[in-house]
Chains A and B, each alone.
Chain A
Amino acid sequence: MKPITKRPESLVDIPTHYCPGCGHSVVHRLIGETIDELGIRNRAVCVAPVGCAVFADKYFNCDGIQGAHGRGPAIATGIKRANPDTIVFSYQGDGDLASIGMAETVHSAVRGEKITVIFINNTIYGMTGGQMAPTTLVGQVATTAPHGRNPLLQGYPINVSEMLSQIKAVKYIERVSVDSPQNVIKAKKAIKKAFKNQVDGVGFSFVEVLSICPTNWHADPLKALEFLRNDMMKQYPLGVFKDEGKTQEDK
């Protein structure tokens, strides 16, 4: 018998605490494979967020740090500036990145930090039990929006990738999804590019991953996937929003 697939060396062999059906585990695997394939495990540093992925620093088999809610890109900035040879990635959810950490997100992009940011968008606060996120869709029910998000009271969902793509120092932004095998393959490609960019010293690279939260959406995994495809993708279209290599000014 010949194994055709195995656990990436860059993932620690321990059970994760993620709920059944959750997209985090898939994205973890894609990052683990990427770190293996690029041969950067001994210089990779994971910056874990506050939220469902809070233990990510323990799951990746590379150095890791866990910091305050939303501050991942600031922490990553400190690591990268103090040690430019490290490959630093900040792994964040939508509450962490698009709400409490919006200033850190925007300004690390404005400064053009040579880091990789992986942004998991599942339109909800998962760890705290399903409160409304800045990414929650109009009409989507959350524990703090029991009648559904009402634009007159809570405004509209924020499209982070589109917003960050307006910033000059940003080099690469793509929105992907992990709802189907084809999309998982595309997501892997995007994540690998975002890491490779850092290896090559290109600049700020950002991948938004649409993901499901069956637990807090109160949906079975199939219904959850339908919601992602039919509703989320309307608000958050997949695609590349920016892809620049090193420009003349960077050299």
Chain B
Amino acid sequence: MSEKVLMKGNEALAEGAIRAGCRFFAGYPITPQNEVPEYMSWRQEEVGGAFVQAESELASINMVFGAAATGTRSMTSSSSPGISLMQEGISYMAGADLPCLIVNMMRGGPGLGNIAGAQGDYMQATRGGGNGDYRVLVFAPYSVEELGNFPKMAFEVSEKYRIPAMILADGILGQMMEGMSYNFEPVDPKTLKKPSWALGVNDGTRKKNNVSSYGLAEGELEHMVLKRAERYALIERDEVRYEERFTEDADVILVAYGISARAGLAAVKMAREKGIKAGLFRPITLWPFPTKRLAELAQKCKAMLCVEMSLGQMIVDVKLAVNGKVPVTLHARPGAFFPVAEDIETAIESTLNGKKEQLFTLSDLAAKATNTCAKPSDTICKEGTLL
């Protein structure tokens, strides 16, 4: 345990990773996560680890691939466009069953977007993102304290199941300062057991180790993917994490992760003061998603409201979880804009009363929008008609 200190999110994260025993870091500059590689550049030297400023995010993730293959707790961090570049290496590491930590301090997208915090990479993170049938663990902190403490948890779960882990945060969390403390003693990596599969110096008594993602013999790849799926099944059963506030008697449950949950919690408290029974459900693991618990809550509440800094990505998982049992609405702030508690509170009331204010749906947008791109052509068949 450590005393409470004032820290910037990115630095709390970097120091948390060092304390968790991370001894290899490779990264490439990109806003809003630059404090992470900057901190690592001197801190890894201090603890006898390695820091490399790579020539690109592609190189960063492949350096992590190499370092992780030696059984070293290895990590990279980036922000949205950089994480897109890393998908190649993440897919290879998932296919080679390597543990590692990837941090995405999300910013506005698509493309260059902007450098403010956003939540537009939910689908990319939770669906794999790169080529092939795979998943990565996705942890979503919502405070500087969690940013500092999640790396240890992420490394441990990642190593237990031999699967890459991602911390999916955003530029706001990375850039803000608040009081935090570490809830664990620093890990000395020398005390960690070297995995049997790790590459590197050996006494010659073991067989050679191979780390690869390919399986070209007939049926070999299917076998590999199915064996990995067994671990995915165990993760979905045993590694789900979430937090609930005021959900016991709630009529409307707000579902939000990361920084959106901070504004969400404020809105829930405002609603409670008005006598509206609102609650907050905060998924901490986005994959595995807390599907089972949301399904249970759907038996008790009247509606759910998703709050996201995107056009609505997590809402897909929420709808799958409640499976039509209750209506699920959305308050969306895409384009790197922050949701405001007052607006969310209005969205809570709209959700309960069947109104539209502060709720986002594509059908409402369509009613207002005009198609300036092209006139509908007779050759394009309307929905429901036969060609």
Name A's B-contacting residues (CB within 8 A): 12, 41-43, 45, 47-48, 54, 57-58, 61-68, 71, 74-83, 85-86, 103-104, 106-107, 111
Contact = CB atoms under 8 A, between A and B. Distances in A.
Contact of A78 (B65, B88, B202, B212): B65
A45 B210 CA distance: 9
B201 interface: yes
A39 to B, nearest CB: 10
Contacts of A78: 24, 26, 52, 62-70, 74
B217 to A, nearest CB: 11
Counting chain A CB atoms within 10 Å of each CB, the highest count among B56, B65, B74 belongs to B65
B74 A63 contact: no
A47 B209 CA distance: 12
11 contacts: A42-B203, A42-B204, A45-B200, A57-B210, A63-B208, A64-B211, A65-B65, A74-B63, A78-B65, A78-B67, A107-B55
Contacts of B64: 78
A79 B26 contact: no
A2 to B, nearest CB: 27
A68 B52 contact: no
B67 A42 contact: no
A104 B62 contact: yes
Contacts of B199: 45, 63-65, 79, 86
- Which of B23, B26, B201 has the most A CB atoms < 10 Å from its CB? B201
Given A45-B199, A83-B70, A75 B63 contact: yes
B62 A68 contact: yes
Contact of B201 (A61, A65, A85): A85
B92 A63 contact: no
Size bin of chain B's contact surface = 35 or more
A82 to B, nearest CB: 4
Interface string B88-104: 11001000100000000
Contact of A81 (B24, B55, B60, B62): B24
Contacts of B54: 74, 107
A127 to B, nearest CB: 12
B58 interface: yes
Interface in B281-317: none
A86 B198 CA distance: 12
B329 interface: no
A230 B23 CA distance: 51
Given A47-B66, A57-B212, A65-B211, A82 B74 contact: yes
Interface string B333-356: 000000000000000000000000
Contact of B210 (A58, A76, A77, A104): A58
A82 B50 contact: yes
Task: Name the residue among B24, B204, B212 with the largest chain A CB count within 10 angstroms.
Answer: B212
B55 A65 contact: no
A63 B62 contact: no
A81 B59 CA distance: 14
Interface in B80-118: 88-89, 92, 96
B126 interface: no
B200 to A, nearest CB: 5
A66 to B, nearest CB: 4
